[in-house]
Amino acid sequence: MRMGSDAGHSEITQSSRFLVTCLIGVVVLGVSVGFYLGFPLRSLGIRGRKKKPIRVYMDGCFDMMHYGHCNALRQARALGDQLVVGVVSDAEIIANKGPPVTPLHERMLMVSAVKWVDEVIPDAPYAITEDFMKKLFDEYKIDYIIHGDDPCILPDGTDAYALAKKAGRYKQIKRTEGVSSTDIVGRMLLCVRERSISDSNNHSSLQRQFSHGHSQKFEDGGSGSGTRISHFLPTSRRIVQFSNGKGPGPDARIVYIDGAFDLFHAGHVEILRLARGLGDFLLVGIHTDQTVSANRGAHRPIMNLHERSLSVLACRYVDEVIIGAPWEVSKDMITTFDISLVVHGTVAEDADFQKEKHNPYAVPISMGIYKLLESPLDITTTTIIRRIVANHESYQKRNEKKVESERRYYEDKTYVSGD
Provide the pLDDT for residue 405: 59
pLDDT at 241 over 80: yes
- pTM value is 0.77
Q: Is 418 contained in some domain? A: no
One domain for residues 71 and 20: no
One domain for residues 280 and 368: yes
Choose the weakest-confidence range: 58-62, 175-179, 325-329, 354-358.
354-358
pLDDT at 315 over 50: yes
Q: Is 3 contained in some domain? A: no
Q: Which residue has better confidence, 150 or 280? A: 280
Per the structure, the count of domains in the chain is: 4
Q: Is 135 contained in some domain? A: yes
pLDDT grade for 218, boundaries at 50, 70 and 90: very low
One domain for residues 304 and 333: yes
One domain for residues 287 and 324: yes
- CATH number of the domain where residue 334 is located: 3.40.50.620
Q: Is 50 contained in some domain? A: no
One domain for residues 323 and 334: yes
Q: Is 2 contained in some domain? A: no
Q: Is 136 contained in some domain? A: yes
Q: Is 167 contained in some domain? A: yes
One domain for residues 212 and 167: no
Task: Report whether 133 contacts 167 (CB < 8 A).
Answer: yes
Q: Is 49 contained in some domain? A: no
One domain for residues 348 and 294: yes
**Domain limits for position 347:** 240-379
List pLDDT tens digits, range 86-112: 999 999 999 888 889 999 999 999 999
pLDDT grade for 57, boundaries at 50, 70 and 90: very high
One domain for residues 374 and 400: no
One domain for residues 121 and 165: yes
One domain for residues 210 and 224: yes
Share of the chain above pLDDT 70, in %: 69
One domain for residues 355 and 386: no
List pLDDT tens digits, range 106-144: 999 999 999 999 999 999 998 888 999 999 999 999 999
One domain for residues 134 and 192: no
